[in-house]
Amino acid sequence: GEFKKLNGSSDFFFFLHSAGRLENGVSVDIDKRRIYIDLEENRVYSVNNQYAGNSLGLKKLAFRLAIKKANEEGWLAEHMFIMGVHGPGGRVTYFTGAYPSACGKTSTAMIPGQTVVGDDIAYLKKINGAIRAVNMESGIFGIIHSVNSENDPVIYQALTTLGEIIFSNVLIRKGVPYWEEMKKDIPEKGINFSGEWFEGKKDEQGKEIPCSHKNARYTLKLNELNNIDSKANDPDGVPVKAIFYGGRDSDT
């Protein structure tokens, strides 16, 4: 449908990606890993790479193209969450927040009692004197390490409810995913990023291998969440009243 709307125009982002030659599901020729970004033609070519932030074209690489497009057209493409904060009398105030990766954008957007529009990317435009924001992603691509029912109840419920979810670099035992700090009994063995895993397994440097990678991820649709904002898919976006900026402590 969207391509029909282009009516022959080449003004769209184009991605060509291959994980390359695989061994046990892992890219082998990493010495030939290449990512080329053509800012003039809005094209990206990547090969021999499996890091999701780069190999999932509509994530980091599209963001780089979007930043350039926004700069040329007078709007903003930002690494921000968008959330609705609910006040007295049914009032909803929309905030965006700019934190680096792994600093809590998703957790902030999921504060109990509030609603989420997006947890990672925001397009902001000034329309009729007001800043409006849209989330151009249809889901969440988040770090699963330390997600648990106490600290992240909404996300945890979605991850442990039968649905369309992608897990990466977690421990799999009998088809069930497990990860570090999920505050649930972890099986003593299974399959993870190191292959056959067992409790106490060590790598070549003698360091104990955790059950899941520190950068293990989950991917799910926003509509899998019970706190999705009613205007999450509004093409006119939501009015932004404030922007948070955050980071992490030096020892975090």
Residue 153 amino acid letter: P
- Structure-token pair, residue 50: 């499996």
Contacts of 174 (CB under 8 A, 6+ apart): none
> pTM of the full predicted structure?
0.84
The pLDDT value given to residue 158: 92
Look-up of token digits 């932004």: 240
Domains parsed from the chain with CATH numbers: 2-73 (no CATH), 77-137+235-245 (no CATH), 143-220 (2.170.8.10)
Are 42 and 65 contacting, i.e. CB atoms less than 8 angstroms apart? yes
- In the set 52, 103, 165, 209, the catalytic residue is 103
Q: Does residue 3 surpass a pLDDT of 80?
A: yes
Lowest-pLDDT choice from 118-122, 142-146, 188-192:
142-146
Look-up of token digits 């991605």: 15
Q: Does residue 57 surpass a pLDDT of 70?
A: no
Which pLDDT band holds residue 106 (cuts at 50, 70, 90)?
A: confident
Residue 131 CA, distance from chain mean position: 24
Q: How far apart are CA 26 and CA 48, in angstroms?
A: 9
Look-up of token digits 């009692």: 113
Q: What average pLDDT does this structure show over 101-108?
A: 83
What are the tens digits of pLDDT across the range 192-219?
999 999 999 999 999 999 999 998 999 9
Q: Long-range contacts of range 14-17, CB-CB < 8 Å, 24 or more positions apart?
A: 14/41, 14/42, 14/43, 14/44, 15/43, 15/44, 15/45, 15/46, 15/57, 15/58, 15/61, 15/62, 16/43, 16/44, 16/45, 16/46, 17/44, 17/45, 17/46, 17/47, 17/49, 17/55, 17/57
C-beta atoms surrounding 54 within 10 Å: 16
Are 198 and 209 contacting, i.e. CB atoms less than 8 angstroms apart? no
Contacts of 97 (CB under 8 A, 6+ apart): 80, 81, 83, 105, 108, 109, 243, 244, 245, 246
Q: What average pLDDT does this structure show over 72-82?
A: 95
Q: How far apart are CA 152 and CA 160, in angstroms?
A: 12
Q: How far apart are CA 228 and CA 110, in angstroms?
A: 9
Which pLDDT band holds residue 33 (cuts at 50, 70, 90)?
A: very high
Are 148 and 181 contacting, i.e. CB atoms less than 8 angstroms apart? yes
The pLDDT value given to residue 55: 67
Our answer to whether residue 103 is catalytic in this structure is yes
**Bridge-based pairing state of the strands 130-134 and 122-127:** antiparallel
The pLDDT value given to residue 115: 97
Q: Does residue 73 surpass a pLDDT of 90?
A: yes
Q: How far apart are CA 118 and CA 106, in angstroms?
A: 8
In the chain, pLDDT over 90 holds for what percent of residues?
Answer: 63
Contacts of 17 (CB under 8 A, 6+ apart): 44, 45, 46, 47, 49, 55, 57
